Amino acid sequence: MVPYPPVEPRLAEIMEAHREEIVDRLAELEWAADPRDPRHLVYDPVLVRPRAALFLESLIAGLGRGDWSIFDAIATTTGEVLRSGQRSVQELNERALSIITILIPLASAAEDRDELLVATFRTMQCLSGGIVAEHHGHLVEELERLNELKSLFMRLTSHELRGPLTVTRGYASLIAGGDFGDIPPAAAGAAGSIVSASETALSLIEGMSEVASLEGEAGVLKVTAVHLRDVVERAVADVLPDAEAKGVSIDRKIADGLLEVDAERCVIAVRNLIGNAIKYGAPAATVHVRAAVDRSHAEIEVEDEGPGIPDADRERIFERYYRTESTRASAIPGSGLGLYIVRRIAQLHGGDVRVAATSAHGSRFTFSIPARDA
Q: Which lies closer to ligand ADP via its Cβ, residue 12 or residue 342?
A: 342
Closest distance of CB 311 from ligand ADP, Å: 13
Q: Of residues 124, 231, 268, 277, which one binds ligand ADP by CB under 6 A? A: 277
**DSSP tag of 85:** T
Q: Is 276 in the site for ligand ADP (CB under 6 A)?
A: yes
**DSSP tag of 222:** -
Residues recorded for the chain: 374
Q: d(Cα 28, Cα 258) in Å, to the nearest integer?
A: 72
Q: Which lies closer to ligand ADP via its Cβ, residue 257 or residue 307?
A: 307
Q: Which lies closer to ligand ADP via its Cβ, residue 334 or residue 351?
A: 334
Q: Of residues 123, 158, 327, 366, which one binds ligand ADP by CB under 6 A? A: 327
CB 101 within 8 A of CB 32: no
Terminal-to-terminal C-alpha distance of the chain = 31
Query: For residue 95, what are the contacts with CB-CB under 8 A and spacing of at least 6?
Result: 29, 30
Site track for ligand ADP across 298-317, x = CB under 6 A? ------x-xx-x-------x
3-state SS of 251-273 is EEEEECCEEEECHHHHHHHHHHH
Q: d(Cα 300, Cα 304) in Å, to the nearest integer?
A: 13
Q: Which lies closer to ligand ADP via its Cβ, residue 81 or residue 204?
A: 204
Q: Is 289 in the site for ligand ADP (CB under 6 A)?
A: no
Closest distance of CB 370 from ligand ADP, Å: 23
Nearest alpha carbon to residue 261 among 216, 297, 310, 305: 297
Q: Of residues 337, 345, 346, 369, which one binds ligand ADP by CB under 6 A? A: 337
Q: Which lies closer to ligand ADP via its Cβ, residue 119 or residue 250?
A: 250
In one-letter notation, the amino acid at residue 59 is L
CB 223 within 8 A of CB 260: yes
Q: d(Cα 113, Cα 119) in Å, to the nearest integer?
A: 10
Q: Is 356 in the site for ligand ADP (CB under 6 A)?
A: no
Closest distance of CB 154 from ligand ADP, Å: 16
Q: Is 338 in the site for ligand ADP (CB under 6 A)?
A: yes
Helix (H, G, I), strand (E, B), or coil: what is residue 186?
A: helix
Q: Which stretch binds ligand ADP (CB under 6 A): 7-15, 43-51, 275-283, 290-298?
A: 275-283
Q: Is 363 in the site for ligand ADP (CB under 6 A)?
A: yes
Q: Is 339 in the site for ligand ADP (CB under 6 A)?
A: yes
Q: Is 336 in the site for ligand ADP (CB under 6 A)?
A: yes
Continuous segment of H or E residues that includes residue 240: helix 228-245
Q: d(Cα 50, Cα 55) in Å, to the nearest integer?
A: 9
Residues that bind ligand ADP (CB under 6 A): 203, 272, 276-277, 280, 304, 306-307, 309, 317, 322-324, 327, 334-340, 363
